[in-house]
Structure formats: structure tokens, C-alpha cells
Structure 1
Amino acid sequence: MLQKPALIDIGANLSNRRFHADLDAVISRAKEAGVAHIIVTGTSERASHDAHALTQTYPGYLSSTAGVHPHEAKNWNAQAARSIEKLAASKTVLAVGECGLDYNRMFSTEVQQRACFEAQLQLAVRLQKPVFLHERDAHDDFFALLRQYRPQLTGAVVHCFTGNTDELRAYLDLDCHIGITGWICDERRGDDLRKAVKFLPKDKLMIETDAPFLLPRNLPVRPDDGRNEPMYLPVVLEAVAAILRISPVTLAQQIRKNTEQFFDLLTTE
């Protein structure tokens, strides 16, 4: 696996209970694999607080986001809004989110999701921080809201992009960055994404694991528990590099530059 230049995982759910027992070991393995920095995703009020707490436990190596995932939109209220705003103002919180729309499983209604998403877009505008975005089976509504606020946002990254070429081009027209996960390694579901990535400008590309989810399916040896970890980020890099027909080392350098500039993040190897 790639050791240098070091990589940045822009989305890992390290506050998830599946990491409670061995987080020190998970982080140690990530460092050994060449991951220089991890951004811990905030997906609810509680998860955002937990993610921020981890940045204090592992200062300099972890940053976080603060936001409410569309699944949790039903819990968005005035208190949650105040809590997320206070968190998002922290120096170690690099973006507002994970926020967006998800019409696939519908844990919250469309009305609740749109209200929660728009409130977080407005928060990102006020704080002048980028947004960390989630969309699934809701492209038209999601794109309409994002397009409305994009001119006022400092930046937007579509986290865990799994869409097709037309959707990719729509986001690029809004000057969005694109986060690619181990979905690209999935021979069952990743064909549209692999085709789309060929049209993704290298300066708009970032990579992530979305751990503990989306374990790359092309691992030679898969963990028995199926848990994804940041140490597998080089697998995502190598898959994208193969599609783009570029050296993984060269691509890693570009991705790291993209990520540091987007999040205003200074890392050390």
C-alpha cells in the first residue's frame, strides 16, 4: 500500500460504536497505511459532539464536521440548530454536514429533510464554511436547493458520490468537489460511478472511506466482521488511479492538494 505522499480521509465515522473498543489501533493502522489525517463525520447532534470530542483526543490528526444527516432530519429543532452552530464554529470543525437529502429509506419525511438541509446550507453561509453533502435517490430536489445556495457557499463536496455521468456534470457545473469511496470497487453496483469518474477533473477529486461502511469489495483478504477502516483508503486511491490511467503517487499528490485547499487544512506527513 501507498506510504507517501500521505492521504487524507475526508469522511470516516469514527464515533460509530463499531470503533469504541479499538479506536487507538484503528488510528495506528491508518497511520501505517499512509493516512496523514482523518475528518470524522458528524451525522447527528450527538454524533457531531462525539466527533468533535475525538478531535480533542487526537489533536492534529483528526478534524471533524458538524451536521445532521437526512435520516436524522426529524430531530432537527431550535435546540439542535443552536448546538450544531456552536460546534461548527470550532476551529477543528472543518465543514457543515453531513447534510442533504435521502429519499431511499425515508427515516425522515421529505418535508423534514428539506427543512433540515436548507437550515444547514444557511448555517454554512453564515459561518463561511464548506458543506459536506449527502444525496441518495433525491437528485432533483437536492440539486435545486444546492444550486440556490451555491453562490454564497465557500465550498461544497458531494460526499460518497455514487451517481452517473450526468449527475456528476451537474455538480461540476456548480463547482462542487466530489468524494469517492470504496463504492468504486464494487463490481455489482459501481459501474455508473466508474464510467463517471473518467470525466471527473483531477482538481475536483477527494477520497474517503465512509468507515465503518463501504468496505472495498476487491480486498484480497476481507475482515470477518466486514468493518471498513481508514487504513483501506489507499485501495480507493488505486482504483481511481487505474480508471484515470495515472500513477497513484501523482494522483495522491493532487488529491491531497485539493483537500487541504478545500478544507483550509494544513497537515504534516
Structure 2
Amino acid sequence: MFDIGLNLTSSQFARDRDEVVDRAFAAGVKGLLLTGTSLEESRQAQQFAQRYTRCWSTAGVHPHDSSQWTSGSAEALYALAQTEQVAAIGECGLDFNRNFSTPAEQERAFTAQLALAAELEMPVFMHCRDAHTRFLALLDPWLDKLPGGVLHCFTGSREEAQDCLDRGLYLGITGWVCDERRGLALRELLPHIPADRLLIETDAPYLLPRDMPQKPKSRRNEPAYLGHILERVAHWRGEETEWLEGQTDNNVRLLFGLQF
């Protein structure tokens, strides 16, 4: 199992970060991709990836932080991307749900990061919420210049999923699918995602799976719970857990070029 989305820089992990990583590997996780969501957190994620074995990171600016994008941001990300720990550009994209940064600021930062990924020939780790049409309009001109990309924490409709799959994107599935209140639509479309386009992630510390048989005392999600997500996704897809584990691990190797 490989967790493609872990926010290890979160303050929620400040007191026991080492133990969180240890528990993940003890639970059978083979590797972790640590998400960078701002310049500072991208630097921290790269440093943590350097510190822990079988860890890599992304380098990017989340749409929420797009207002911080400056002329020097691309240069800073470029420098980070030269390190062996950084496996993708992102988390980048659009989020028109909260608009912590204006749509114009988000579009500028997203396009700049797509250009950087194309220049570096690196995959992109992307975010899209309530912005599907505009997200695709900005992404489409870059698709033939990028080696690949994943829309992480996918929670959209079957039509939106198909739009992404038609473009060769991978879809990242989180514990959202384990939520009986808001994850049922995503659960129903799971069988329609080709196995060679599926990735799994926790997005920890967020999105603790609600259907875990033994509820943790804390509501904090951890990468150690990735196995539960994998098992439930395999169940709803009608596949053997071990087979899907091998397939998603292979997908990680193909998209990010990682060896683990």
C-alpha cells in the first residue's frame, strides 16, 4: 500500500510525527507521499521526506494559498523539485467552494504550476472543488506536455470522473468513500474507475473513515488507516484486496516513477 496524500506538515502531527510514520509502516504501508500546499509547507514536506525512509513529497501551492503566489514562487518550487525527494508538482488546482484566494489568483497560480511541471517533465498532484469546467479548461492545453497527473481526493460525479479519465488522469480515493452520509455516490462509481487509473490515500489528518470497526479515540486520521480504505474500496469494486493493493502500488510507480 502506498499513501499518495498525507499532510504530515499539519500541526496535528507536531507532537508525535515520528510515531505516526512508524505506525503507518507497521500497518503495512510501503510508502508515503507528503503533500506540499504552500512554499513553506513544501519545504517542510521535502525535509520530512529526507528524514524518513520510504517517503517522498510534492512541491506546490494549494488554491487556498494562491494569493501568496509571486514572481519568485516558480523559482522556489523549481529549486525544491531538483531534490530527489520531490516526486510531483502540487498540490495545485482550483477551489471555488471557499475562495480563500480569488478565482483569478487561483487560475494564475495553477497555470504557472502546470507550466513548471511541463518544463520539468514532472507529474502534477491536483485539487479541484466546485470548479470542474474551469479546471479542465486550464488543464487541457498542458495535457500533451505533462507526463501524467492525479486529481487527488476525488469526490465528484461519475460524469466528472469520466472527463478526468478520458484525459488520462488518475483519481485518488480517500476515506470520504467510507462516509455513509456523503460518500455513497462516490462508492457507486468506484467500479467504473479502471484499476490502472486508481490511487488510494488518507489525506490525513483529515477524512477519518467513519466506518472503522474500532474507532480511534482521536478524530485525527493517520496513514496507518490506509489499509481500511483499501479493503473497503476493493470490497465495493468486487476485487480481492491483495490484487488491488498490487495494482495501486504499480500505478504509483508508473505515475511518480518511485521505487519502493
TM over 0.5: yes
Cα deviation digits, residues 63-115 of structure 1 (max 9, x gap): 00000000000000012221111112222100000000001111000000000
Give me the whole-angstrom Cα distance separating, in 1, the residues matched to 2:55 and 2:177.
Answer: 25
Give me the whole-angstrom Cα distance separating, in 2, the residues matched to 1:197 and 1:99.
Answer: 24
Deviation (angstroms), 1:147:
1.4
Aligned-partner residue type, residue 23 of structure 2: R
Equivalent of 1:187 in 180, 183, 192: 180
Structure 2 partner of 1:48: 42
Aligned-partner residue type, residue 123 of structure 2: P
* Counterpart contact for 1:164–1:195, Cα < 8 Å: no
Structure 2 partner of 1:160: 153
Structure 2 partner of 1:116: 109
Equivalent of 1:147 in 134, 140, 147: 140
Give me the whole-angstrom Cα distance separating, in 1, the residues matched to 2:253 and 2:23.
Answer: 22
* Counterpart contact for 1:89–1:127, Cα < 8 Å: no
The two structures have a TM-score, normalised by structure 2, of: 0.98
Matched, 1:35 2:35: no
Structure 1 partner of 2:248: 255
Deviation (angstroms), 1:223:
2.6
The two structures have a TM-score, normalised by structure 1, of: 0.95
SS where residue 72 of structure 2 aligns?
A: helix
Give me the whole-angstrom Cα distance separating, in 2, the residues matched to 1:143 and 1:19.
Answer: 34
Structure 1: 5+ residue runs without aligned partners? 1-6
Cα deviation digits, residues 100-159 of structure 1 (max 9, x gap): 000111100000000000000000000000000000011010011111211110001010
Structure 2 partner of 1:4: none
Cα deviation digits, residues 191-244 of structure 1 (max 9, x gap): 221122121000111100000001001112323331000000011101110111
SS where residue 83 of structure 2 aligns?
A: coil
Structure 1 partner of 2:231: 238
Give me the whole-angstrom Cα distance separating, in 2, the residues matched to 1:38 and 1:161.
Answer: 18
Give me the whole-angstrom Cα distance separating, in 1, the residues matched to 2:81 and 2:97.
Answer: 27
Give me the whole-angstrom Cα distance separating, in 2, the residues matched to 1:196 and 1:149.
Answer: 27
Give me the whole-angstrom Cα distance separating, in 1, the residues matched to 2:39 and 2:138.
Answer: 22
Give me the whole-angstrom Cα distance separating, in 1, the residues matched to 2:73 and 2:218.
Answer: 33
Structure 1 partner of 2:56: 63
Deviation (angstroms), 1:20:
1.1
SS where residue 100 of structure 1 aligns?
A: strand
Give me the whole-angstrom Cα distance separating, in 1, the residues matched to 2:175 and 2:78.
Answer: 31
Structure 2 partner of 1:3: none
Show structure 1 runs of 4+ deviating over 4 A.
none
Structure 1 partner of 2:14: 20
Structure 2: 5+ residue runs without aligned partners? none
* Counterpart contact for 1:42–1:68, Cα < 8 Å: yes
Give me the whole-angstrom Cα distance separating, in 1, the residues matched to 2:220 and 2:37.
Answer: 18
Give me the whole-angstrom Cα distance separating, in 2, the residues matched to 1:261 and 1:148.
Answer: 22
Matched, 1:224 2:220: no
Aligned-partner residue type, residue 178 of structure 2: C
Aligned-partner residue type, residue 51 of structure 2: T
Instruction: Give the stretch that moved more between structures: 230-239 or 64-73.
Output: 230-239
